Each structure stands twice: as structure tokens, then as C-alpha cells.
Amino acid sequence: MFQRFSFHIRRLQPSAQKAALATATAATCYYSLSRHVEPHHTLFCDSNETTTTTLLNWSGTHAVTTSHYWEPETVEQVEAIVQHCQRHRQTLRPLGSALSPNAIGFASEGMLQMAGLDRIIRVEGQQVTVQAGARVSQVIEALREHQLTLPNLASIAEQQMGGLIQVGAHGTGRTLAPLDAYVTQLKLVTPAHPRAVTITREDPLFHLCTVGLGCLGVVVEITMQCVPAHELVEHTFVVSRKEAIERVQEWLQEHKHMRYMWIPYTDSVVVVTNNPREKWSDGSVPTPTVFSREEQFRPLLDLLHELDPDVDAIGMGFGELRDALLAFDPLNLEHVQRCNRAEAEFWKRSQGYRIRPSDEVLQFDCGGQQWVWEVCFPTGTQEATNGNDMAYMQKLLQGIEETHQIPAHAPIEQRWSASSPSKMSPAHGDANGLHSWVGIIAYLPSEDERQRRQITDMFTGIYCDWMRQVGQPFHATSHWAKLERPASMNRLIDLQLFLQQRFPLHEFNALRAKLDPHNILANPLLNLILGDPRNLD
């Protein structure tokens, strides 16, 4: 009748990542698995024991310690926990893989880790139904035997499916919307309902719930549209800024997926395109990369050995080499310029083609621990960009390199997507709309706390200030998982006013108040920028 399990962190982070997790001695709870027991009898905890759980997000930029941490394994347990917290007005923030740079899933008052609900429930036709804690990589593997895959991918595949859609994660491609657009059905556990509720596309609330930021209910099950599994031909090449600007319209039309990587203080833009293999109908196989791996890495290794002749670089990958180089002096402008030039040369030696399943080439190395901020803004239609994408980049780079001389780490990544029907998506807009996503980055290449603080101050100060200023005339909206707490009251007010204009916040908060009357699912960041639904006029 009862299942016993302990609070612990399981599968919270990919084992290969650097983020550390520490968990104190676990208290033990008992959850009733019987549907015949009244909700208020389904959760029993020994209040004499104290549990503390400390989590660090993947970026290494946010940590949280809580004494209220649940890790259910069934929908019934989620229902019981939500109802318990509702009665006691206990914060219960849904938490995915802790990959969000701003730790949007963290709340010191209480968290619900969804990793235990990771079943692939069924594959029917070209749709897959999964529990929200299933990782993207798990879903992709499960779809292989059905010759299916997901329509698009973000840069990494260790996100949980619930978190992936709730924050509006995206890939790249002018005709491809963010991942939330492909959801056909959701199952939510809300504080206002003792049992999970199912919401379909026909429901008028559906497009508010798909990017719900975890505020409308705990997503426990997702049904998503799939596409036939396919191989992509990836082409990586380096062009000048002039060519990147002049040919963006041509390349957006020509390629199914495309992203730019601008390398500050160089005239190099790395272009990565992906197209179905069928595009080469004559059967010809494009030329692969012509340089050996040793030759590709030579510019990075030469600079590293110049800086430290005794360094052991055996086995280092690209991201590790970049971290090792930057760590010598990550805020020194001249040093960062040298590192960026070496990176540009690495990419020139990495030009070429490769053919892989779509899920392998649409993921890429995001580097080590880092600060990152990404914004989204409209840039015309799927038929023709209106030039906002290139005007934004020119203005951003001008300020970085000339006006402010910011020690900007490489790359500045630019991607594109179609509009999302989700009302809270940064890419929400007309069905034929085109949006550009631009992300800046500052790596945290060492464990030196003083250095990390200095990088943080630079990034959250002058760098983000400039990005914010550039984005204003373009109506640039932050990615929800990368929006940090405003540093001043004036910035907070500006952000609140902008969000009220950009999103249907009154409608969203009214639904929050209905589904979560005691506001237990939000955290201080979301209450600050969105408002507390209990205070609606």
C-alpha cells in the first residue's frame, strides 16, 4: 500500500557536466499509492528530521539550499504532494534538469524534482507521449525503433521534456518553431484540482499552458508531434562579416537549419547549415573536413603552449582548450582577442561536411560553466527577413569592439525560428513570422572565486547593459531561462512595463490565480517580474 523512498538527487545533471551537487542525509517519506485514500492522508513526513538539499545549476551561476525537496516517481505522488503543499501553502517549484542559466526552477522554499517520472508512455502514428521528467535524449532513443524523431532540437539533449517546453526552448530554422509549438496535449497537476487535468489544442487555455513557466501546474505528461527520422548533411564554413550580412536572406531560404557564430574582434563568422540528405539527389557525397584533428586544434594548442610550455593538453576537447586559454586572463582585452583569433583559425580548419542523424548534428558543444543571456526579436517573415537580424548584430558588435571595448568571449551565437502559437513564448507572433535569437556569453573557466566574481560583474554589468540598450528598438525579449533578476529598481520597472506590453500578463496571471490560488508554484524571480497573481486588481 505504501512506497518508501528517500529524498536524493537522481539524474539531475548529466554525469559529464561540471556542476556539483551535494545532498544532506535524507529524511524518509511515505506516499500512499492507493487512489482510495483521501488526499490529506497521502503524505506523511517525520517532522523531527531535517533535510537539506543543495543544488548548483549547470552553468555554475546559481545555487540553492532547501529543506523541502520532493522527488516523486508517479503521477499519484505528484498529486499528493501538490495537494499537501496547497493545504499548507508550501512553495513547490517544479524543477527539471537544472540546466537553465538563470535557475528558473530553483526555490529555496521548496522544489519538486521530476526526474523520477521519465517513462516513454506510447508512440502512436507520428506522436509520442512521455512523462515530463523524460530527458530529450531518452525520447530520441525511444523513437529510433519507430523511425521517428523530434521536429527540432535545442543545443543540448539533457533537458527534461517538461522544462524544455515550459521555458520555450528552441532550435534553429526559419520554418521551424520553438519546441512548444509541436505539443498536442498536456497533462497538468494543479493546486486547484486534486487530480491531473488533460489539456488539448482545442482547449482555449492550451496556448497559455504550453509555455507556462511551471506557474500554472506541474506538467506530468506531454504528447508531441514527431517527424520521420532523417539524416542531415551539416556544412560548416567561415565567411567575412560582409558576406554574412549580404547573404543571410539567401542562406535562410536555402537551408533548413542555419546558425551564425560571430567571433568578436575578428572578421570571421562561422556558418553552420543542415539540410536533409535527399537534397543531394544525384548521390554525391560532400567533401568532409580536410584537416586532421591535430591540425584543427593546432592554433589553440600553439597559443596554450606559448602561455604555459609545461601544460598537459592531452585529451582536451575544444571547449576545454578554450577554457584553459581564457583562464589565464579572461577579462584582459588583448588576451581575449588572441583567444578569439585562435578560435577563428580553429573554425577555418574545421570547415567541411559531415552526415549524421538529425539529433546528432543539431546538438553542439556549449562550452563549460558560463554566464549567458539570449534574446529574441522579430525580423520579418519566413519569406524575407526585414533586416533587423543583421542591424542588431552590427550595432551590438560596434558597441562591443569600439564604444565599450568589452572583453567578449566567443562566440556570439545567432539562430532563427518561426513564430510560436504559445502566448508566453518570446517568439509568439504571426503564423508566418520570423524571429532571430542572439546569445552572448562569458565563460567561467576556473574555480578561482575572485576571478569568477570579476567575470560576473563584467557580464551582468557593462555587457548586459549594452545588449539591453541595443535590443530596445528591436523589442528584444529575453529567453525565459536566461532572464536574470534586474539589478536596480529602475530596471525592474522598465522590465515589468515591457513584459506587460509584450505578453498577455493579465490573462496569464488570472489563470495562475485560478489554477494556483495560493501561488505555491512560482519563485521570487517570477513573482518579481510577472507579479503575484494574488494581487490582481
Residues 476, 482, 483: CA angle, nearest 5 degrees: 65
One domain for residues 445 and 373 = yes
Burial class (CB in 10 A: 0-12, 13-18, 19+), 316: middle
Between the alpha carbon of residue 111 and those of residues 30, 168, 186, 499, 527, the distances in Å are: 17, 20, 21, 26, 16
485: which strand partners? none
Is the predicted pLDDT of residue 136 greater than 60, yes or no? yes
The SS3 of residue 202 is: coil
359 neighbors 140 (Cβ within 8 angstroms): yes
Question: How far apart, in whole angstroms, are the C-alpha atoms of residue 340 and residue 325?
Answer: 10
One domain for residues 101 and 126 = no
Q: Average pLDDT, stretch 325-333?
A: 97
Between the alpha carbon of residue 29 and those of residues 10, 32, 38, 521, the distances in Å are: 16, 10, 17, 21
Residue with cell 539562430: 415
All three cell numbers of 49 = 528530521
One domain for residues 105 and 174 = no
Number of domains observed in the structure of the chain: 4
The SS3 of residue 340 is: helix
77 neighbors 58 (Cβ within 8 angstroms): no
Question: How far apart, in whole angstroms, are the C-alpha atoms of residue 257 and residue 359?
Answer: 12
Question: How far apart, in whole angstroms, are the C-alpha atoms of residue 203 and residue 444?
Answer: 44
One domain for residues 441 and 512 = no
User: Is the residue at 66 inside a domain?
Assistant: yes
The pairing of strands 148-149 and 227-228 is antiparallel
One domain for residues 510 and 466 = no
248: which strand partners? none
* CATH number of the domain enclosing 450: 3.30.70.2520
Is the predicted pLDDT of residue 48 greater than 50, yes or no? no
Q: Peptide bond before 411: cis, by omega within 30 degrees of 0?
A: yes
Candidates 275, 271, 259; CA nearest to 155 is: 259
Q: What is the DSSP letter of 482?
A: G
What is the CB-side half-sphere exposure of residue 35 using CA atoms within 13 A?
Answer: 6
Confidence (pLDDT) at 183: 98
User: Is the residue at 55 inside a domain?
Assistant: yes
Q: What is the DSSP string of 118-155?
A: --EEEEETTEEEEETT-BHHHHHHHHHTTTEE-S---S
Residue with cell 558576406: 243
Question: How far apart, in whole angstroms, are the C-alpha atoms of residue 149 and residue 141?
Answer: 9
One domain for residues 131 and 158 = yes
Query: pLDDT-derived band of residue 537, with 50, 70 and 90 as boundaries?
Result: low
Please give the model's pTM, rounded to 2 decimal places.
0.90
Confidence (pLDDT) at 18: 31
Cβ-count burial 89-112 (b if 16+ within 10 Å, e if not): eebbbbbbbbbbbbbbbbbebbbb
Query: pLDDT-derived band of residue 153, with 50, 70 and 90 as boundaries?
Result: confident
Is the predicted pLDDT of residue 474 greater than 90, yes or no? yes
Question: How far apart, in whole angstroms, are the C-alpha atoms of residue 344 and residue 238?
Answer: 8
One domain for residues 142 and 100 = no
* CATH number of the domain enclosing 199: 3.30.465.10
Q: What is the pLDDT of residues 389-412, one digit of tens each?
A: 999 999 999 999 999 999 999 999
More confident residue, 368 or 263: 263
User: Is the residue at 42 inside a domain?
Assistant: yes
Confidence (pLDDT) at 278: 81
User: Is the residue at 134 inside a domain?
Assistant: yes
Is the predicted pLDDT of residue 1 greater than 60, yes or no? no
Confidence (pLDDT) at 34: 26
Candidates 146, 119, 148; CA nearest to 135 is: 119
For a pLDDT cut of 90, what percent of the chain falls above it? 78
User: Is the residue at 292 inside a domain?
Assistant: no
Confidence (pLDDT) at 51: 74
Question: How far apart, in whole angstroms, are the C-alpha atoms of residue 235 and residue 287?
Answer: 10
User: Is the residue at 261 inside a domain?
Assistant: no
The SS3 of residue 430 is: coil
Question: How far apart, in whole angstroms, are the C-alpha atoms of residue 511 and residue 197?
Answer: 14
Residue with cell 494543479: 190
More confident residue, 158 or 115: 115
Is the predicted pLDDT of residue 282 greater than 70, yes or no? no
One domain for residues 90 and 15 = yes
Is the predicted pLDDT of residue 289 greater than 90, yes or no? no
One domain for residues 382 and 473 = yes
One domain for residues 471 and 385 = yes
Domain termination residue (choose one: 71, 92, 113): 113
* CB-based contacts of 74, cutoff 8 Å, min separation 6: 33, 117
Question: How far apart, in whole angstroms, are the C-alpha atoms of residue 115 and residue 13?
Answer: 10
Query: pLDDT-derived band of residue 531, with 50, 70 and 90 as boundaries?
Result: very high
Confidence (pLDDT) at 146: 96
The SS3 of residue 537 is: coil
One domain for residues 533 and 490 = yes
Domain termination residue (choose one: 51, 86, 113): 113
C-beta neighbour count of 188 within 10 angstroms: 22
Q: What is the pLDDT of residues 60-92, one digit of tens each?
A: 899 999 989 999 999 999 999 999 999 999 999
148: which strand partners? 228
Q: Which amino acid is at 285?
A: V
User: Is the residue at 252 inside a domain?
Assistant: no
Q: What is the pLDDT of residues 244-254, one digit of tens each?
A: 999 999 999 99
More confident residue, 156 or 267: 267
Confidence (pLDDT) at 134: 96
* CATH number of the domain enclosing 18: 3.30.43
Confidence (pLDDT) at 49: 55
Query: pLDDT-derived band of residue 39, with 50, 70 and 90 as boundaries?
Result: very low
One domain for residues 169 and 139 = yes
User: Is the residue at 504 inside a domain?
Assistant: yes
Domain termination residue (choose one: 73, 91, 113): 113
Q: Which amino acid is at 214?
A: G
The SS3 of residue 439 is: strand
Is the predicted pLDDT of residue 44 greater than 70, yes or no? no
Query: pLDDT-derived band of residue 20, with 50, 70 and 90 as boundaries?
Result: very low
Q: Average pLDDT, stretch 467-478?
A: 97
Is the predicted pLDDT of residue 277 greater than 90, yes or no? no
Q: What is the pLDDT of residues 339-384, one digit of tens each?
A: 999 999 999 999 999 999 998 888 777 778 899 999 999 999 999 9
Confidence (pLDDT) at 158: 86
**What range defines the domain where residue 453 resides?**
369-480
H or E segment and range at residue 186: strand 183-189
